[in-house]
Structure 1
Amino acid sequence: MTKLASAAISLGLVLLGGGPASAAPPKPSDPVGIDVSWPQRGKTLPKKPAFAIVGVNNGLANTTNPCLATQLAWANTAPDPALTAQPRVALYVNTANPGLQGSWWPNSNHYGGVDVANPYGVCGSLPDNFRACSYMYGYAKAYDDATIRGVEEPQKYLWWLDVETGNSWQTDKADNIADLEGMVAYFTSIKATVGIYSTGYQWGQIAGNVPSSSPLAGLPSWLAGARSLTGAKSNCSLPALTPGSRVALTQYVSAGLDYNYACP
């Protein structure tokens, strides 16, 4: 992933591809998955991970992973049937809320050929309804991820929202919540499932306390931050990111790869 930004090391977080040199690879008996994206381009990846998660973007929410097709082909070497409760193959997408500083910002509730039902009102209305436009920005990025990045049958995947401080966010956490809700709205409209990847610290900085009435409530949590399989197993007991959620997946770095443990 964008891997929690370089400054996050001091917070006990990890950089993609930068695990401690002494970390031992998982034992064959441990059914762990692997997540990959553009930083692993051209690298030889272990065959038949218990499950695989592939990044759709090239580090930013408005980009495409140049090795997406190759990595999806690798991901499909995962055993069938699945060895854990996680899907054999899932996807993750970068998220952000850049506002007017971004390369594109919506000015209406219309995108992808449809008028989007916006719980925050009309984007582009006067005075400018920034929260409604945040919702539309998230909706639009999810639409793009599912339709123009090269993902076939997007409805069949679990889509993880990669929420990290390394990307652009607003200081108003309610605007960021609206942005992520817009993403969830699109993915659920195509009958896909959705989860949230972050750490408790970063989620607190970006979204904070999510209302129990939000569409983000109850979505499974994927927590980063562990430095070993033992730590990843322990992190299954950490608080989930949103009300009514559970920690479904935890991540750790070993031998230069991101491994993931499916919580019981």
Structure 2
Amino acid sequence: MAYNGVKTACTFVALLGLLVTGTAPVSAATPSPSKDPVGNDISWPQCNKSLPTGQAFGIVGVTGGLANNTNPCLSDQLAWAARSSGQTKQPKVALYVNTANPGHAGSWWPSSNTYLGVQVTNPYGTCASDGPVDLACSYMYGYAKAYDDARRGVANPGNYFWWLDVETGNSWQTNTALNRATLEGMVDYFKSITAGHTDADGKKAGVGIYSTKSQWATIAGTVASSSSLAGLPSWLAGARTLRGAKSNCSLSGLTPGSRVTVTQYVSSGLDYDYSCI
């Protein structure tokens, strides 16, 4: 999930002219947990590899690089995250999922406002039976992927904080309004299952957005204050050091009214995360 693209599937580059952007990992001294209580995020690239120890919190990828598959090491990595020390205000265990809007190039695209027997209230109207790549069907695609994500093997999914991983390495439309509709569909589903819930430590469940400023602008464009994306916590990637990650806490969030609550940097090939709250 690092800014250099380890979260995304390298074999499936973004559609319609979007480019993968990022920088190579920068080696740095591993921070001392006693002085800098930082967390780590891991997913399928860390399968069968040595994992960090002493992390303050852990963020685990539920998907396996694409929006429609599962991290094969999810169970073991959730157990790893549960051993976090909990030294910050972040949940000891949080989750993230890949996002995309592939349109008809994907393995599945909606053709109604119903998914697996669930009738979805769609703010963009009706997703027509011929499945056009429009706002209504884009919203349904996002809602359906989030619905699937909550059933990939996470017990009590409504008790977690879910981050949406928004990177240009996945498949997106050039029309940013369509991409926003997909992300809104995901947000609305996760809001529906997390509202009023907390984890075992009393930390609030919910949903937020992981990205960089440039990737977010390319994919989502301008977000209206009326969008369900507005005000969501932001997790900013792109720092090269812990010092840079701390500095990024002062930046504005990705959407109107958003606050940066987590920042990320790369050290010795691992993703480290600093809590801004």
TM-score computed with the length of structure 2 as normaliser: 0.87
SS of the equivalent of 2:150 reads helix
Equivalent residue letter for 1:145: D
Question: Given that residues 4 and 166 in structure 1 are in contact (C-alpha distance below 8 angstroms), is that contact kept between their aligned partners in structure 2?
Answer: no
Matches within 5 A, 1:173-184: 173-184=176-187
Within 2, Cα distance between the matches of 1:72 and 1:127?
Answer: 36
SS of the equivalent of 2:228 reads coil
Counterpart for residue 266 of structure 2: 253
Matches within 5 A, 1:93-242: 93-124=97-128, 128=132, 130-147=134-151, 149-191=152-194, 192-242=205-255
Shift of 1:3: 4.2
TM-score computed with the length of structure 1 as normaliser: 0.92
Report the CA distance shift for 1:137/1:127 in structure 2 as closer, same or farther (over 3 A).
closer
Within 2, Cα distance between the matches of 1:246 and 1:125?
Answer: 39
Unmatched runs of 5 consecutive residues or more in structure 2: 195-204
Q: C-alpha offsets along residues 150-209 of structure 1, whole Å, 9 cap, x if unaligned?
A: 111100100000000010001111111100000011111112510000000000000011
SS of the equivalent of 1:234 reads helix
Equivalent residue letter for 1:26: P
* Aligned partner (choices 36, 41, 58) of residue 47 of structure 2: 41
Question: Given that residues 14 and 253 in structure 1 are in contact (C-alpha distance below 8 angstroms), is that contact kept between their aligned partners in structure 2?
Answer: no
- % identical aligned pairs: 66
Report the CA distance shift for 1:66/1:237 in structure 2 as closer, same or farther (over 3 A).
same
Unmatched runs of 5 consecutive residues or more in structure 1: none
Shift of 1:43: 1.3
Shift of 1:10: 9.8
Q: How many correspondences in the alignment?
A: 256
Within 2, Cα distance between the matches of 1:215 and 1:91?
Answer: 19
Equivalent residue letter for 1:99: G
Report the CA distance shift for 1:2/1:104 in structure 2 as closer, same or farther (over 3 A).
farther
Question: Given that residues 228 and 252 in structure 1 are in contact (C-alpha distance below 8 angstroms), is that contact kept between their aligned partners in structure 2?
Answer: yes
What is the Cα-based RMSD across aligned positions, in Å?
A: 2.1
Within 2, Cα distance between the matches of 1:2 and 1:251?
Answer: 8
Q: C-alpha offsets along residues 93-112 of structure 1, whole Å, 9 cap, x if unaligned?
A: 00000001111000000013
Counterpart for residue 201 of structure 2: none
